[in-house]
Amino acid sequence: MSIYRHVLLAADFSEHGKEVARRAKQLAELNQAQLSLVHVVDNLPITDASYGPIIPFDVDLTEELMAAAKKRLAELGEELGVPAERQWLEIGSPKLEVVRIAEENAVDLLVIGSHGRHGLALLLGSTANGVLHYAKCDVLAVRLKDD
């Protein structure tokens, strides 16, 4: 029996991410659902003048980051058999953009990795916590082993 029709993998290209990707693919196959990918280039203010001389504020790395991320996303898409039209590359806050893409594309299951964080890290909130908080669809948090 199929429960989900559209599975979205939030991909961060980390080593642990492979496990999350595998799980998303399995779930999509089991449900005969579409699998889509989203990666968000974080818009941390790396060009902010307040960083002083460490990072010159007239250097904008956005284009380079986007190009590198696009290549990684295409490679992952190829590995998982996800066509280019279902690979989203966004810029902004990962948790908010992941949730937005899910909503705009009738995703009914979001798959993300979740580190076994606690204490301060949990209070500050990881991407998984944020997605869980804002998403309107089901979310599967694949528990990742922290090294």
Window 87-106: residues binding ligand AMP (CB under 6 A): 94, 98
Nearer to ligand AMP, 42 or 48 (CB): 42
Nearer to ligand AMP, 26 or 56 (CB): 26
Which residue, judged by CB position, is nearest to ligand AMP in the bound state?
113
**Smallest separation, CB 68 to ligand AMP (Å):** 13
Residue 130 host element (H or E): helix 127-134
Q: Among residues 6, 113, 135, 139, which is the contact residue for ligand AMP, using CB under 6 A?
A: 113
Pattern 12-31, ligand AMP, x by CB under 6 A: x----x--x-----------
Residue 85: how many CA atoms within 13 Å on its side-chain side?
2
**Beta carbons within 8 Å of 107's beta carbon, 6+ residues apart:** 6, 7, 8, 36, 101, 137
